[in-house]
Amino acid sequence: MIQDIATLIRKEWKEVVFHRGGGRQSWISMLILLGLLGVYLPYLNGTDWLQNPMALFTWAWVPLFMTIGLVTDAFAGERERHTLETLLATRLSDASILFGKIAASVLYAWSISTSCAVLAAITINVTFPNNGAFQFYAPAMFFGGLAAVLLIAILISSIGVFVSLNAATVRQAYQKLNLAIMAVWLIPFILLQTFPDKVQSLFMKVAPVLDAKLPLIIGSVFAILIVLDAMALLLAKKRFKRTRLILE
Amino acid sequence: MTSGTISISTNDLHCEFGEVHAVDGITFEVQTGTLFGFLGPNGAGKTTTIRLLLGLLEPSSGSAQVLGYDTRTQADQIRLHCGALLEQNGLYERLSAEENLDLFGRIWHIPAERRAQRIQELLEKMDLYERRKETVNSWSRGMKQKLAVVRTLMHNPQLVFLDEPTDGLDPVAAASLREDLVDLARQHGVTVFLTTHNLSEAEKICDQVAVINKGKLLTVGSPDELRLQKSAHSIIVVGRGFNEALLAELRTFPDVEKVELQDRHLVVYFKQETDSGNLVQFLAAKDVMIDEVRKGKASLEEAFLSLLEEQA
């Protein structure tokens, strides 16, 4: 199954991201992102970039943008280009096709995030040298950041593939996924606004206490992300039915 | 699998979509190493049957076995050993021809060296090797169709399903593909399940044909059997000296259904099987110069249309 997933990843990258005609655009977007997150912002922030946990949040946004194009194309694109039935008629198992599609976008986003992080460290070392000593992120921050990116990429990719499975065209999938992502980000803020003032002020009082318990909070966020990832993967797996896809 | 064994066997296979009976109780067998033509008009149930046989759809009732595997429970095994060119060519048009074949070679776990050899061998055979690096979207429909056929054969399948394989090919390419299909079946023992609208093509290459319409299987047999089964009882006389009075007299005979004169060919349709002796005697008595007498034989197309008319 690993070999089949690798085949699917290779195919997705070649066909959707780096295909001739559209490949140059993909390279340019990738270079812009690397330039922005790997050179320009670290240069502006100086050595703070390697110590400030906000950098972690910057990385976490990256997969969001990098996966959308790839995941929306996953099934809706195959359907639109009339290649889905041929793919389903191959020896590939359901799991290989589904997880291959998800893995293609997860790895794409994750590798760009990692490259940005490493490039940022190189930029800082070149522009703000510290007497020859190599400067890098704190291990917990670096590995925690990469793990967060991975979990977020899995979540978005799984939701994206689910949306793509249900969309007739790539455009439709793109619109649906954007709405879903907007809902995920906006609903907590909207819900918060609906609470009475008393409850809202209680949140504000608790905030400094929470700051002191940052590791616990980060741990909880990771646990929630893992649960959400598992749920999104299961949802996508449940929706993937060859016999249903062939008729859509 | 060897010749003489059964590659496909269906038993009272049904597939319903709500009120629509896309496949309505079909039962047939396909011998290994044969070219089997599955004929029918648009919407007859041909593509649905292929999907059922590949395990891409579940039958509503009945059963089917492909290469000895059950389509409900062992569809993965069926797809492992079969190749399929479906309604759409299914090519990745942003990839080159070589990349398309390489992808399918990888899907079937063909080792790198063998994969490269196979790609070269197949593309050269179809005269596409020189253009292997071009993206497929710049190709003509016929070239794409050739590539799609080649892709189907990439992993040396035991059984191939081809949905209208010569569609879009020029006559030379179509003839060449037909030769290749015959060669696949005769030399390599590959079973070919072919749907086509081109009845003369089916007549030329198929060992067995089945006719399906509105989901029902109307007949199965060799093209010859089908032609004989549906042949009108006619006698063709080639000669000179035919005239309207002679034709009018022939039409008065009680066992004659119809008389037609086409150029120097007199075609007499009888209501039942008739010996040509009486007709020849009659014509000779009317001073007709007879060059040739033969029994009429329907073409596969005529037999096919006759079957559809009967069902209607």
Closest to B159 in 3D by CA, of B57, B48, B34, B45:
B34
- Tens of pLDDT, residue by residue over B249-264, are 888 888 888 888 877 8
Residue B57: which residues within 8 A CB-CB, separation 6 or more? Answer: A243, A246, A247, B15, B48, B51
Domain residue extents for chain B: 6-223, 232-296
The pLDDT of residue B3 is 47
Q: Is the pLDDT of residue A77 over 60?
A: yes
Residue of chain B with shortest Cα separation from A247: B57
Mean pLDDT of chain B: 86
Model confidence at A29: pLDDT above 90: no
Give the per-residue pLDDT at B59. 92
Q: Cβ distance B105 to B115 under 8 Å?
A: yes
Instruction: Please tell me the least confidently modeled range out of A1-15, A44-58, A150-164, A165-179.
Output: A44-58
Yes or no: domain B232-296 corresponds to CATH 3.30.70.2070:
yes
Q: Which alpha helices (DSSP H) does B189-270 contain, by range?
A: 199-205, 223-230, 244-251
Which of A9, A25, A87, A90 to mutate to probe the B interface, most B CBs <10 Å?
A90
The pLDDT value recorded for residue B69 is 94
Q: Is A83 in contact with B99 (Cβ distance < 8 A)?
A: no
Higher per-residue pLDDT: B278 or B111:
B111
Residue among B51, B92, B106 minimizing CB distance to A7: B106
Residue pLDDT, tens place only, B133-165: 888 888 888 888 889 988 999 998 999 999 988
* Percent above pLDDT 70 for chain A: 88
pLDDT attached to residue A57: 66
Q: Which of A7, A14, A246 sits opposite B107 (nearest CB)?
A: A7
Q: Is A89 on the interface with B (CB under 8 A)?
A: yes
The two tokens of residue B170 are 């020029």
Beta-carbon separation of B56 and A242 below 8 A = yes
Contact A83 B17 (CB under 8 A): no
Chain B contact for A13 (CB, 8 A cutoff): no
Structure token digits, residue A117:
């992080």
- The residue-averaged pLDDT of A35-59 equals 80
Global ipTM: 0.79
With contact defined as beta carbons under 8 Å apart, do B243 and B287 qualify? no
Provide the phi-psi class of B160: left if phi over 0, else alpha when psi is between -120 and 50, else beta.
beta
Residue with the bigger pLDDT between B3 and B222: it is B222
Report whether B90 contacts A86 (CB < 8 A).
yes
Q: Given this structure, which CATH class describes domain B6-223?
A: alpha beta
In this complex, do B135 and A4 lie within 8 Å of one another by their Cβ atoms?
Answer: no
Least confident of A180-194, B88-102, B197-211: A180-194
Confidence of residue B196 (pLDDT cuts 50, 70, 90): confident
- What is the rounded average pLDDT of the residues B104-108? 94
Check residue B282 and report its DSSP letter. Answer: H
pLDDT at B2 (0 to 100):
45
pLDDT above 90: residue B177: no
Q: What is the pLDDT of residue A59?
A: 64
Highest mean pLDDT among A25-29, A75-79, B5-9 belongs to B5-9
Amino acid at A138: A
Share above pLDDT 70 across residues of chain B, in percent, rounded to a whole number: 96
Pick left, alpha or beta for residue B270 (phi over 0 → left; psi -120 to 50 → alpha; otherwise beta). Answer: beta
Is residue B4's pLDDT more than 70? no
A92 interfacial to chain B (CB closer than 8 Å):
yes
Q: 3-class SS at B56?
A: coil
Q: How confident is the model at residue B88 (pLDDT cuts 50, 70, 90)?
A: confident
Q: B65: which residues sit within 8 A by CB, 6+ positions away?
A: B6, B8, B9, B10, B71
CB contact under 8 A, B90 and A90: no
B75 closest CA partner among B90, B60, B59, B53 = B53
- Candidate ranges A16-25, A88-97, B136-145; pick with highest mean pLDDT: A88-97
pLDDT of residue A89: 92
Residue B22, pLDDT > 50, answer yes
The share of chain B scoring above pLDDT 90, in percent, equals: 31
Residue B84 and residue B242: Cα distance in Å, rounded?
Answer: 54
